[in-house]
């Protein structure tokens, strides 16, 4: 017996075939009889002829095991599984009453969705949303999906341009800018007083600067650094005001 064939029932069928046989042929001819007369007679010759005959021949019909069938009437093996409930969601019948399901589905007929978010194999960094036959990753407020659709990255929120045009800069920011500008002006005035002896060759100098020219120069450079630092802070505040 072939694979998954439980029985082979003996049967018979009518088969037609061609056979040869000897067929007599009577051929007339003329000959000379007594008295020199012509007589008609015949002779028998034989030739091979063919004819179609029928006879009963035994034949074994395969009986498939329960749950299996043959792929065609000419197939000997029973390799096609039968599922009483049709397979769903792209599955195919692999064993009797059992479907082989694609990823994301399970059950005898692939009717049940697999919850990929129940385990840890989904790979989402924050949130996992189960869908029919699959899943997708999501992020909490303030984050967005990265290029791999699994990791989450912070969202940088930029203020809308109309915010500044409607409300204007805050009073605290205005006060901070005003204070920084006043400090820069005071340092510039102080620097001019310190550098005056070098430009005008005058003996007098500010009280808080030493009489030594080297000390005066060092103090002047320090004042320049402070002015640069304050100028950078003012520029930063102005940029923030422009982007608001």
The CATH number assigned to the domain holding 104 equals: 2.10.25
CB 62 within 8 A of CB 1: yes
Q: Identify whether 76 is part of a domain.
A: no
Helix (H, G, I), strand (E, B) or coil at 4: coil
> Of 157, 177, 209, which residue sits at a domain end?
157
> Same domain for 100 and 135?
no
Helix (H, G, I), strand (E, B) or coil at 68: strand
Distance (Å, whole) CA 244 – CA 237: 11
Helix (H, G, I), strand (E, B) or coil at 124: coil
> Same domain for 167 and 214?
yes
Name which of 92, 90, 94, 93 is nearest 104 in CA terms. 90
> Same domain for 200 and 237?
yes
> Same domain for 109 and 122?
no
What is the structure's pLDDT at 128? 93
What is the structure's pLDDT at 40? 87
> Same domain for 167 and 148?
no
The DSSP element (H or E) to which 80 belongs, if any, is strand 80-81
Q: What's the domain count of the chain? A: 4
pTM for the whole thing? Answer: 0.42
Distance (Å, whole) CA 50 – CA 18: 7
What is the structure's pLDDT at 8? 66
> Of 93, 128, 157, which residue sits at a domain end?
157
> Same domain for 198 and 232?
yes
> Of 130, 157, 184, which residue sits at a domain end?
157
Written as tens digits, the pLDDT of the chain (244 aa) is 557 888 766 777 888 889 999 999 998 988 888 878 888 888 899 999 999 999 888 876 768 889 998 888 777 788 899 999 999 999 999 999 999 999 999 999 999 999 999 888 889 999 999 999 999 999 999 999 999 999 999 988 766 655 544 555 567 777 887 887 887 787 777 777 766 665 554 444 445 545 566 666 666 667 677 777 777 777 777 776 666 5
Structural domain including 59 reads 5-69
Phi, psi of 176, deg, nearest 5 = -65, -40
Helix (H, G, I), strand (E, B) or coil at 35: coil
- The CATH number for 142's domain is 2.10.25.10
CB count in 10 Å sphere of residue 89: 18
């Amino acid at each position: 017996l072939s694979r998954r064939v439980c029985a082979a029932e003996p049967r018979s069928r009518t088969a037609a075939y061609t056979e040869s046989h000897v067929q007599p042929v009577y051929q007339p001819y003329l000959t000379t009889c007594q008295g020199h007369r012509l007589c008609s007679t015949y002779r028998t010759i034989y030739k091979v002829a063919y004819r179609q005959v029928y006879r009963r021949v035994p034949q074994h019909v395969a009986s498939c095991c329960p749950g299996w069938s043959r792929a065609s009437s000419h197939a000997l093996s029973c390799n096609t599984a039968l599922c009483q409930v049709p397979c769903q969601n792209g599955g195919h019948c692999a064993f009797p009453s059992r479907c082989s399901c694609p990823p994301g589905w399970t059950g005898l007929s692939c009717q049940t969705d697999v919850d990929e978010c129940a385990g840890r194999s989904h790979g989402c960094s924050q949130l996992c949303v189960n869908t029919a036959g699959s899943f997708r990753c999501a992020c909490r407020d303030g984050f967005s999906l990265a290029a791999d659709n699994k990791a989450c990255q912070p969202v940088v929120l930029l203020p809308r341009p109309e915010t500044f045009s409607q409300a204007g800069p805050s009073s605290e920011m205005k006060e901070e800018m005003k204070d920084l500008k006043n400090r820069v002006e005071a340092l510039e005035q102080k620097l001019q007083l310190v550098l005056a002896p070098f430009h005008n060759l005058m003996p007098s100098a500010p009280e808080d600067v030493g009489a030594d020219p080297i000390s005066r120069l060092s103090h002047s450079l320090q004042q320049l650094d402070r002015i640069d630092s304050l100028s950078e802070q003012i520029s930063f505040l102005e940029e923030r005001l422009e982007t608001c």
